[in-house]
């Protein structure tokens, strides 16, 4: 006899479209896959050596829930160096990737607020995290003209209306557009005046040429800012799933407790690899950024030559393009995969990783 209980569970599941939002792959699944979240990067021999040495020395056991102390300190240092923030090791939780960071922050910080303001266009992982346990979401308008970053007046309006928690991406996970330092300052002022909080996904910030302003680094930064992202991206750790949460100390215990409930700790090998990556990151990032910037410029030219609209973006590792359904089908037909803007909330947009295969993909449209 069919189970009515199971039927009810499955009916709930079917009706939960947020939970079923498709996630991009962590790294490219094949040479024509241009839709992954992470960069395909070589893994430095020193990272392999450090992780191997740790495993051989018996680092195969549980470690502290928020992460090994040295890595927490290294992440804090890297954030402080890049954004002029003032994090210490105690402000950091090492997560099992940026999706876990999204989930923990949205769910656990979100518990303290009646509603959360979220851009209409965001990484699908945000919708997915919300799909697990619904929150009262207030949608922030986000248009292509500003790279899908919600305008400051829209942010001010929902804060004035009583929303006290925002989730913002800068750079945008779809377009790569980043708020300017003036805009970040204006957001900070709105939040500070209202005593509001924000979760700030700065995961793509390392790929902005010339740096990227962060909410936690403004001169008069509000105190309730939590920053999330991937730990040391571009060092070959994308499939190791390692990320961070940087948060005021009083917000750490609830997320740490939930991390314990969900996973106890993050993979020990990944943590020791990331620790070594921390010392190689800045040099590798600069080199990679310069390569990406050059390639992105070529891809933009190629797209323009084919009459495709490039959505303005600052992060050099991705490019968002407006394409017709016919063009999207043509790309798929030629074996290319891309991140579908529909899953971010922008149906007529595709996101490509910046690499040589993207040039090949555009040629396939001819």
Partner 1 sequence: MSKKKAQGTNLLYQLIGEARGYDDVIIMGRGDPDFDTPAHIVAAAKDAMINHHADSTPPEGLLALREAIAARVKRVNNIDVDPATEVVVTNGGQEALFLMVLAVLSPGDEMIVPEPNYNTYADSLRFAGGVKVEVQTYAEDDFRADPADVRAAVTNKTRALLLVSPNNPAASVISPPDMRAMLDIAIEQDLIVIADDIYDLFVYDDFEHVSPASLPGAKERTLTLNALSKAYSMTGWRLGWIVGPADLMARVRELKAAISGGASIISQHAGIAALTGPQDAVEMMAEAYRRRRRLVLDALDAMGIKYGLPQGGQFVFADIGFTGLDSGEVAQRILTEQHVLAYPGSAFSKDRKDYLRMTFLQPEDQLIEGLERMKVAMANIVAER
Binding region for partner 1 (CB under 8 A): 3-6, 9-10, 12-13, 19-20, 23, 25-29, 33, 36, 40-43, 47-48, 51-52, 55-56, 58-63, 65, 96-100, 103, 125, 128-129, 131-133, 236-242, 257-258, 260-270, 273
Minimum Å gap between C-beta 337 and partner 1 is: 11
Minimum Å gap between C-beta 39 and partner 1 is: 10
* Closer residue to partner 1 in complex, CB, 297/356: 356
CA atoms within 13 A on the CB side of 86: 8
> What SS3 string covers 43-108?
CCHHHHHHHHHHHHCCCCCCCCCCCCHHHHHHHHHHHHHHHCCCCCHHHEEEECCHHHHHHHHHHH
Minimum Å gap between C-beta 355 and partner 1 is: 13
* Closer residue to partner 1 in complex, CB, 239/298: 239
Q: Which of helix, strand or coil describes residue 210?
A: coil
* Closer residue to partner 1 in complex, CB, 212/274: 274
Minimum Å gap between C-beta 336 and partner 1 is: 15
**Token representation of residue 297:** 């410029």
Minimum Å gap between C-beta 296 and partner 1 is: 21
Closest to 202 measured CA to CA, from 229, 180, 232: 229
* Closer residue to partner 1 in complex, CB, 119/125: 125
For the chain, the C-alpha Rg in angstroms (whole number) is 20
Q: With the CA atoms of 152, 155, 156 and 158 taken in that order, what torsion angle do they form, in degrees rounded to the nearest 10?
A: 160
Minimum Å gap between C-beta 161 and partner 1 is: 27
Closest to 72 measured CA to CA, from 242, 283, 275, 282: 275
Q: Do 347 and 174 meet the contact criterion of CB atoms below 8 Å apart?
A: no
Q: Which residues of 116-135 are buried (b: 16+ CB within 10 A; e: fewer)?
A: bbbbebbbbbbbbbbeeeeb
* Closer residue to partner 1 in complex, CB, 260/297: 260
């Amino acid at each position: 006899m069919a189970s009515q209980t199971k039927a009810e569970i499955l009916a709930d599941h079917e009706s939960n479209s947020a939970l079923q939002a498709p996630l991009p792959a962590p790294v490219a699944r094949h040479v024509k896959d241009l839709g992954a979240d992470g960069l395909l990067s070589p893994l430095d021999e020193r990272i392999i050596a450090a992780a191997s040495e740790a495993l051989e020395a018996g680092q195969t056991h549980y470690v502290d829930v928020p992460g090994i102390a040295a890595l927490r300190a290294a992440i804090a240092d890297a954030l402080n160096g890049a954004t002029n923030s003032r994090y210490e090791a105690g402000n950091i939780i090492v997560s099992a990737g940026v999706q876990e960071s999204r989930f923990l922050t949205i769910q656990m910080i979100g518990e303290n607020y009646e509603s959360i303001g979220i851009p209409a266009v965001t990484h699908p992982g945000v919708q997915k995290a919300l799909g697990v346990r619904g929150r009262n979401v207030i949608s922030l308008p986000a248009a292509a003209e500003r790279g899908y970053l919600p305008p400051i007046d829209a942010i001010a309006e929902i804060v004035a209306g009583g929303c006290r928690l925002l989730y913002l991406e800068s750079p945008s996970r779809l377009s790569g557009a980043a708020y300017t330092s003036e805009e970040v300052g204006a957001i900070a002022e709105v939040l500070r005046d209202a005593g509001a909080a924000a979760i700030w996904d700065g995961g793509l910030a390392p790929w902005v040429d010339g740096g990227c302003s962060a909410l936690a680094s403004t001169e008069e930064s509000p105190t309730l800012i939590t920053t999330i992202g991937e730990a040391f991206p571009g060092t070959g750790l994308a499939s190791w799933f390692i990320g961070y949460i940087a948060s005021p100390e009083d917000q750490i215990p609830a997320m740490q407790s939930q991390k314990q409930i969900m996973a106890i700790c993050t993979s020990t090998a990944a943590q020791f690899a990331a620790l070594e990556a921390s010392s190689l990151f800045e040099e590798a990032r600069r080199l990679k950024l310069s390569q990406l910037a050059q390639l992105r410029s070529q891809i933009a030219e190629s797209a323009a030559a084919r009459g495709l609209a490039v959505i303005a973006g600052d992060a050099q590792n991705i490019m968002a393009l407006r394409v017709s359904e016919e063009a999207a089908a043509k790309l798929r037909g030629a074996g290319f995969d891309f991140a579908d803007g529909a899953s971010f909330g922008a149906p007529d947009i595709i996101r490509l990783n910046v690499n040589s295969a993207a040039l090949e993909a555009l040629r396939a449209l001819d």
